[in-house]
């Protein structure tokens, strides 16, 4: 959520930002906020003026009582009693206007960073860099789901019976490899100085609206029926919420956390759920990193966080590329974002395995996360980035480390998590 002072002082900048995101239908919201804010400030002034009047009357009553002018004082007492009634009526309108303003403000997108390229959708995202050589071996690369089944590591038929599409049973060495990736990701980030966290896997509605836009919430989140709880789509949500309504001392930032969680997503929209595969699911597991920091440090953190994800995949022998997200591909709370995509030798193209985002002060403003800088409080900047999400990472690993006979070579970085096993061999 942007600062309302920006709308008051520079509405054209806010409108231009909306145009850059190709959300012209929201342009009217800027004028509506200005209209409501003008009314809100007028009503607020009435309340302030009435309170000032009440204080003056109280002073006058005290003077009259001291001077023995009780009859005159009684007249003012009657007048003073009328003022709280007037204030109460106006305050209800102030509160109503404030709620209307906040609801609209929550839909106005965050100001994007000046470096973000213009574009309508993910099709306009810009490749920044390729890391590693994207190879296509001379032999056939098996479909990941078929291969996992042949290796005795995947049972989709049973999961469809228990849970429907978008779920899975992982078994044996494939399940172990999946866990090894996540355990390695945990230790990888701990070695970067991040504090390891296992957060709550459910959060309240006010947290959901604090960390994400309404559109994302509708497309992603599962609501627990009859309770004020949602299942998390990523541990970023509950990790950022650790700092809700807190004012951090300057010496307490940056806060750098890495969190593990299962993730639950509706995957509502054009992509849908895969009928047979592990690419797009209702349930997966993830190692995330978040940072709460000084505003002037956030873009240094952004570059470091993005490159750590790249380094992680390099260590697993998985070629990747970095993509700069264009203006139209940014969710409303994002100021700047980049995707990390892994190479698929089977499909001969890259696919998304992570995303790094600088929210600047958007989440902090919604969640009340501030820093005490000594001369006053100001909003922190928050960032999040996927270290690894699996089974997507599992797919990338299986394809890029697959041998001719369908066996999977286990990267050296994971072997200690697999009991020093070097290969998952095809069953005879």
Structure confidence by residue, pLDDT tens digits, 29-41 = 999 999 999 999 9
pLDDT tens column, 346-357: 999 999 999 999
Question: DSSP letter string over 310-341?
Answer: HHHHHTTT--EEEEEPPGGGS-TT-SEEEEEE
Q: For residues 248-274, give the mean pLDDT.
A: 83
Q: What's the confidence (pLDDT) of residue 204?
A: 93
The DSSP 8-state label assigned to residue 122 in this structure reads G
Q: What does 205-256 look like in DSSP terms, one character per residue? A: HHHHHHHS-HHHHHHHPEEPTTSS-EE-SSHHHHHHHTTTT-EEEGGG--EE
**Residue 274 pLDDT more than 80?**
no
pLDDT of residue 111 exceeding 80, the answer is: yes
- Confidence category of residue 271, pLDDT binned at 50, 70, 90: low
Q: What is the mean pLDDT of residues 128-152?
A: 93
Which fold does the domain 122-424 belong to in CATH? BirA Bifunctional Protein; domain 2 (3.30.930)
Among 389, 177, 394, residue whose Cα is nearest residue 289: 389
CATH of 4-105, picked from 3.30.497.10, 1.20.140.10, 3.90.180.10, 1.10.287.40, is 1.10.287.40
Query: Are 59 and 82 in contact, with CB atoms under 8 Å apart?
Result: no
Q: Where in the chain is the domain with CATH 3.30.930.10?
A: 122-424
Dihedral, 298, 304, 305, 310 alpha carbons, nearest 10: 150
pTM: predicted TM-score of the whole model, two decimal places: 0.89
Evaluate if residue 247 carries a pLDDT over 70: yes
pLDDT at 272 over 70: no
Average pLDDT over residues 220-249: 93
Give the residue, 243 or 210, on which the prediction is more confident. 243
In this structure, are residues 57 and 87 in contact, taking their beta carbons and an 8 Å threshold?
no
CB atoms near residue 67 (< 10 Å): 10
> Which of 191, 148, 192 is closest to 172 using CA atoms?
148
As given in the structure block, the two tokens for residue 71 are 């009859």
How far apart (Å, rounded) are the C-alpha atoms in residues 174 and 186?
19
Structure tokens at 366: 């919604």
Return the percent helix, strand and coil in the chain, to nearest 5: 45, 20, 35
Residue range 281-312, pLDDT digits in tens? 999 999 999 999 999 999 999 999 999 999 99
pLDDT score at 103: 92
What's the pLDDT score for residue 428?
Answer: 59
By residue count, the chain amounts to 428
pLDDT of 193 strictly over 60: yes
Q: What is the Cα–Cα distance from 349 to 341, expressed in whole angstroms? A: 9
Residue 77 to residue 262: CA distance in whole angstroms: 63
Cα 293 to Cα 359: distance, rounded to the nearest angstrom: 11
d(CA 106, CA 243): 20
How confident is the model over 141-156, as a mean pLDDT? 92
CATH 1.10.287.40 in the chain, residues? 4-105
CA distance 409 to 401: 5
With cut-offs at 50, 70 and 90, classify the pLDDT of residue 70: confident
Nearest to 382 by CA among 196, 237, 229, 204: 237
E strand residue ranges, 331-412: 336-344, 349-358, 370-372, 377-379, 381-390, 408-409
DSSP 142: P
Asked if the model's pLDDT at residue 220 lies above 90, the reply is no
Question: Are the beta carbons of 287 and 390 closer than 8 angstroms?
Answer: no
Q: Cα 236 to the chain's mean position, in Å?
A: 6
Mean pLDDT score across all residues of the chain: 93
User: Is a pLDDT exceeding 60 seen at residue 225?
Assistant: yes
Res 375: pLDDT? 80
Predicted pLDDT of residue 276: 67
In which band, very low, low, confident or very high, does the pLDDT at 273 lie, cut at 50, 70 and 90?
A: low
Q: What is the pLDDT of residue 26?
A: 96
Give the C-alpha separation, 60 to 73, whole Å.
8
Half-sphere exposure of 410 (CA within 13 A, CB side): 22
**What DSSP character marks residue 134?**
-
Q: Which residue has the higher pLDDT, 1 or 339?
A: 339
What confidence score (pLDDT) does residue 348 get? 94
pLDDT at residue 270 greater than cutoff 50: no
Contact 426, 407 (CB under 8 A): yes
The whole-number average pLDDT for the span 377-382 is 97
The pLDDT assigned to 268 comes to: 60
Looking at the predicted structure, is the pLDDT value of residue 6 above 90? yes
Check: CB of residue 258 under 8 Å from CB of residue 382: no
């Amino acid at each position: 959520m942007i600062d309302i002072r920006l709308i008051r002082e520079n509405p054209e900048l806010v409108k231009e930002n909306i145009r850059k995101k190709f959300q012209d239908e929201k342009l009217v919201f800027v004028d509506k906020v200005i209209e409501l804010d003008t009314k809100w400030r007028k009503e607020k002034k009435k309340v302030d003026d009435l309170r000032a009047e009440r204080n003056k009357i109280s002073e006058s009553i005290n003077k009259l009582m001291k001077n023995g002018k009780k009859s005159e004082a009684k007249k003012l007492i009657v007048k003073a009693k009328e003022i709280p009634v007037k204030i109460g009526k106006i305050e209800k309108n102030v509160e109503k206007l404030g709620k209307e303003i906040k609801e609209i403000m929550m839909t106005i997108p965050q100001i994007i960073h000046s470096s973000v390229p213009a574009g309508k959708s993910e099709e306009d995202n810009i490749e920044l860099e390729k890391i590693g050589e994207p190879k296509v071996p001379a032999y056939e690369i098996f479909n990941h789901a078929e291969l996992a089944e042949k290796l005795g590591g995947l049972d989709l038929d049973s999961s469809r019976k228990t849970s429907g599409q978008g779920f899975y049973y992982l078994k044996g060495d494939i399940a172990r490899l999946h866990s090894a990736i996540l355990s390695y990701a945990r230790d990888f980030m701990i070695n970067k100085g991040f504090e390891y966290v296992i957060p709550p896997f459910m959060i309240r509605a006010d947290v959901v609206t604090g960390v994400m836009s309404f559109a994302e919430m509708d497309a992603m989140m599962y609501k627990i029926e009859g309770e004020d709880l949602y299942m998390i789509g990523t541990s970023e949500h509950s990790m950022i919420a650790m700092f809700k309504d807190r004012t951090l001392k300057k010496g307490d930032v940056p806060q750098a956390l890495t969190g593990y969680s299962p993730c639950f997503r509706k995957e509502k929209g054009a992509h849908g759920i895969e009928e047979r595969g592990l690419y797009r699911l209702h349930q997966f597991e993830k190692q995330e990193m978040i940072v709460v920091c000084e505003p002037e440090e956030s873009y240094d953190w952004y570059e470091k966080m993005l490159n750590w994800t790249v380094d992680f995949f390099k260590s697993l022998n998985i070629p990747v590329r970095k993509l700069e997200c264009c203006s139209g591909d940014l969710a409303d709370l994002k100021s700047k974002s980049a995707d990390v995509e892994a190479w698929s030798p089977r499909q001969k193209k890259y696919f998304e395995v992570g995303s790094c985002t600088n929210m600047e002060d958007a989440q902090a403003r919604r969640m009340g996360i501030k820093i005490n800088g000594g001369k006053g409080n100001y909003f922190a900047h928050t960032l999040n980035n996927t270290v690894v999400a699996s089974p997507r990472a599992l797919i990338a690993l299986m394809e890029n480390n697959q041998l001719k006979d369908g066996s999977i070579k286990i990267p050296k970085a994971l072997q200690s998590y697999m009991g020093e096993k070097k290969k998952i061999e095809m069953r005879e």
